[in-house]
């Protein structure tokens, strides 16, 4: 299967500029500068290089996804942000402060500006929803009146004002996570870390929680960092994405850029799990591996931007004088931009062994490569 990658600085829809990934800003909310993290050998087990040569920034007010398989370094990364771990080399700057250099009381004060949402909620079973949310405020020394007002405000914000006196055992998974989100927001943090926060939830509840986080980002302006192994979560919520593999950043940029032209194999594997073939069953069942005389080559093309799909098909037909068929199409909104997957049928010659048998397919792939579209040949149909 041959693929043509796309340059992020080129146009996807002909004549339509592409938004390039955001450069590292000096006003970034979180900056990783020359980070490595090595866990020393322990009880006969060798040391682990969890993170190596990490340099990237998370824009202030953004929603950034950090995605990787198990063991990629995600947990180490999040523990560096909230100061639970110190880097072996380099520094982590959060909201202008080198959190990796803080300790004791100064570190605890800094950690109040960094909220944390957990996969398994981490609620105290002996406390009601309201009391779980109140806990960080009690630790911070707030008055009872201020705590009561803040807790009521947060319960309303996350949509469970009626669950004030319910215990975790009386709440659904989604309701527990809403309590966890409210607790993470209690001390008005500037950064909210979501560590696999939807992994234990069903798809419908996951969508509701991600919608809630998007609303919190809009209303409060809090910077959200999504630690996840699910590209579907990144697609629904994030604007920027960082891909980790083996302790290295292997790819990063705007989510729409990554979805339309992934460069690294690990990113491509994540996307294949989310996008799949996206083909109607009636079409997928007809695709074969070998060309069929008089049939069609099936080409999938990734496009971006409103109307991009129409532009590609129309220009292909016009410039190459081909009867191009649109076999299927899917358009999603990813990172605030329209991203599409088109499946095209390209006519084959009546004699596959002749020079013109797959000539049209070759011309189409060359044309798509010239205009920097990502394309792959899926097979053939009669």
- Whichever domain contains 340, its CATH number is 3.30.70.260
* Distant-in-sequence, close-in-space partners of 211: CB < 8 Å, separation ≥ 6: none
Distance, CA of 191 to CA of 172 (rounded, Å): 26
Quote the CA–CA distance of 301 and 318 in Å, as a whole number.
17
CA atoms of 66 and 78, how far apart (whole Å): 9
What the block records as the tokens of 25 is 């800003």
Give the Å distances, CA to CA, from 266 to 223, 242, 272, 340: 26, 12, 10, 21
Q: Which structural domain range is residue 367 located in?
A: 281-381
pLDDT tier for residue 350 given thresholds of 50, 70 and 90: low
In this structure, the answer to whether residues 242 and 304 fall within a common structural domain is: no
Q: Are residues 267 and 292 in the same domain?
A: no
* pLDDT of res. 308: 62
**pTM score of the predicted model:** 0.77
Q: What pLDDT is attached to residue 311?
A: 78
373, 236, 234, 278 alpha-carbon torsion, rounded to 10°: -50
CA distance 57 to 52: 15
Residues 55 and 97 in one domain: yes
Asked if residue 32 has pLDDT above 70, the reply is yes
Residue 39 placed within a domain: yes
- Spatial CB neighbours of 27, under 8 Å, sequence gap ≥ 6: 60
Contact predicate 341/261, CB 8 Å:
no
Counting Cα atoms < 13 Å in the Cβ hemisphere of 6 gives 29
The total domain count for the chain is 2
Q: What is the token pair recorded at 88?
A: 């072996």
Which of 1-5, 127-131, 164-168 bottoms out in mean pLDDT, i.e. has the lowest? Answer: 1-5
Closest residue by Cα to residue 56 from 39, 80, 38: 80
Residue pointed to by tokens 């990934």? 21
Residues 230 and 341 in one domain: no
- The answer as to whether 68 is a domain residue is yes
User: According to the model, what pLDDT value does residue 24 have?
Assistant: 45
Do 305 and 355 share a domain, yes or no?
Answer: yes
Share of the chain above pLDDT 90, in %: 52
Residue 277 has a pLDDT of 52
**Where a domain ends, among 274, 296, 322?**
274
* Least confident window among 53-62, 71-80, 338-347: 338-347
92 with 195, same domain: the answer is yes
Burial class of residue 283 in the structure, from the number of CB atoms within 10 Å of its CB (0-12 exposed, 13-18 middle, 19+ buried)? middle
In the listed set 253, 274, 295, which residue is the last one of a domain according to the structure?
274
- As a whole number of angstroms, the distance between CA 214 and CA 208 comes to 10
> Residue 155 falls within a domain, yes or no?
no
pLDDT of residue 131: 97
CA distance 64 to 237: 8
Over residues 310-327, the mean pLDDT reads 83
């Amino acid at each position: 299967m041959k693929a043509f990658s796309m340059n992020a600085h080129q146009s996807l829809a002909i004549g339509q500029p592409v938004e390039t990934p955001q450069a590292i800003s000096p006003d970034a909310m979180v900056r990783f500068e020359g980070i490595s993290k090595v866990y020393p050998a322990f009880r006969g087990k060798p040391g682990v290089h969890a993170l190596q040569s990490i340099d990237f920034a998370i824009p202030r007010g953004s929603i950034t996804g950090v995605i990787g398989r198990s063991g990629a370094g995600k947990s180490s990364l999040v523990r560096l942000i909230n100061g639970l771990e110190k880097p072996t080399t380099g520094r982590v700057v959060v909201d202008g402060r080198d959190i990796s250099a803080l300790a004791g009381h100064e570190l605890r004060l800094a950690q109040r500006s960094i909220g944390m949402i957990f996969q398994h909620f981490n609620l105290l079973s002996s406390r009601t929803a309201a009391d779980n949310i109140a806990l960080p405020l009690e630790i911070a020394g707030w008055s009872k009146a201020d705590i009561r007002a803040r807790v009521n405000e947060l319960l309303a914000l996350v949509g469970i004002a009626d669950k004030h006196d319910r215990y975790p055992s009386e709440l659904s998974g989604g309701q527990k996570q809403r309590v966890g989100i409210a607790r993470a927001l209690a001390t008005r943090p500037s950064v909210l870390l979501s560590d696999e926060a939807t992994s234990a939830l069903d798809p419908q509840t996951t969508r509701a929680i991600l919608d809630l986080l998007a609303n919190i980002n809009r209303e409060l302006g809090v910077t959200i960092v999504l630690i996840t192994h699910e590209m579907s979560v990144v697609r629904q919520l994030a604007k920027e994405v960082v891909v980790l593999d083996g302790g290295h950043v292997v790819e990063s940029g705007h989510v729409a850029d990554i979805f339309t032209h992934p460069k690294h194999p690990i990113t491509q594997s994540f996307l294949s799990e989310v996008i799949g073939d996206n083909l109607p069953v009636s079409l997928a069942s007809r695709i074969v591996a070998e060309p069929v005389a008089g049939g069609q080559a099936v080409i999938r093309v990734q496009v971006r931007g409103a109307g991009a799909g129409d532009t590609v098909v129309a220009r292909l037909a016009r410039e190459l004088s081909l009867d191009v068929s649109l076999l299927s199409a899917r358009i999603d909104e990813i990172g605030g931009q329209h991203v599409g997957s088109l499946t095209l049928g390209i006519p084959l010659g009546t004699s596959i062994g002749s020079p013109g048998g797959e000539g049209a397919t070759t011309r189409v792939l060359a044309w798509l490569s010239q205009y920097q579209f990502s394309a792959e040949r899926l097979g053939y149909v009669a």
